[in-house]
Amino acid sequence: MFNDLLSEATLNEAWRIIEAEFLTAIWETVYVTLLATAFSILIGLPLGVLLVVGEKDGVLPLPLWLLQALNIIINLLRSVPFLILMILVFPLTRLIVGTVVGTTASIVPLVIAAFPFVARLAESSLREVSPNTIEMAQSMGASPLQIITKVMIPESIPSLISNATIAVTTILGYSAMSGIIGGGGLGKIAINYGYYRYKYLIMIAAVVLLIILVQIFQSVGTRLAAKADKRLKKKST
C-alpha cells in the first residue's frame, strides 16, 4: 500500500492539501490545546489544593466524606477512556457550546477529561512543599488562605510549571483524538486523509507536525520551570 507513496502525482496532491489546510489545522490544534489547558487548570488547580489542604492534618481540614467524594469523582473521570468520554459528554457540550461538532465543541470533553488529571498533578506539586515551611507560616500567624496563596502555590511554582507542561502535551494528544468525532486540527486531517482516504503522506505530515508541537511545548515548559526556580540560582550576585 505504500508503493505509490512517493510518486510525483501523490507528492503534488499532498503538497496541495498541506498548503490549503495545514496552517488552519495547526492553529486549531494550538488554540484547542491551550484553551482546554487553561480551563483544566482553572478547575484542576483549586481541586488539587483542596486535596492537599483538606486532609486530616492539612491546613484546612475538610469533612472526610467530602474529601473522599472528591477523590472518587477524580478517579472515576480519569478511568473513562477519552473516546468514550467525548461521546458521554455530548449533552453537556451541546448545552455549553450549542453543538457537538467542530473545534470549539471539542474543548468541552477535553476539559472534562483533563481537569481531574491536572488536579492530580497539582496535588503532587503542592505536596512537595515541606511541612516545616507550612509550620513556619503558621507560627507567624498565617491564615489557611494565606498559606495557600503565599506559601504553597508560590513555593511550588517550578513544579507546577513542569506539570502544566505535561498537561499541555497530554491534552495535545487528546485533541488529536477528538478529530474522530468532528474536532478540528491536525488530528482531524490525519484521520480524514490517512485513515479514511489512504493518503498516508498527509497522515505522516500531520503526525510530524504534532511531534514538533509537543517538542516546542515541552522545551518551552522546561525552560520556564528552570527559570522560575530560585533554588537553582548559582552563588553569585
Partner 1 sequence: MIEIKNVSKQFNTADGFIEALKNVSISIPNGDIFGIIGMSGAGKSTLVRCINMLERPTEGAIEIDGVNLCELSESNLRNIRRDITMIFQGFNLLMQRNCLGNVCFPLELAGKSKSEAKKRALELLDIVGLGDKAKAYPAQLSGGQQQRVAIARALATNPKVLLCDEATSALDPTTTNSILELIRSINEKLGITVVIITHQMSVVESICKHVAILDKGEVVEQGEVTEVFSHPKSEAARHLVFPEGNFDSLLVNESEQRFIRVIFNGARATGSPLIAKMAVEKGIEANIAYASTKSIGGKAYGSMLLGVTDDNTIVNTAIRYLTNTPDVLAEEVRVNV
Sign, Cα dihedral of 105, 109, 115, 120:
negative
Alpha-carbon distance of 94 to 31, in angstroms, equals 20
144-163 positions binding partner 1, by CB under 8 A: 146, 150-151, 154-155, 157-158
57 lies in the site for partner 1, by CB under 8 A:
no
Q: Contact letters (x/-) for partner 1, 209-228, by CB under 8 A?
A: -------------------x
Helices vs strands, H then E, count in the chain: 11, 0
Alpha-carbon distance of 60 to 144, in angstroms, equals 6
Alpha-carbon distance of 183 to 90, in angstroms, equals 13
Nearer to partner 1, 14 or 147 (CB): 147
Nearer to partner 1, 79 or 235 (CB): 235
49 lies in the site for partner 1, by CB under 8 A:
no
Return the residue of 7, 24, 99, 143 that touches partner 1, per CB under 8 A: 143
Alpha-carbon distance of 4 to 2, in angstroms, equals 6
Applying CB under 8 A, the residues found at the interface with partner 1 are 130, 132-133, 135-143, 146, 150-151, 154-155, 157-158, 228-237
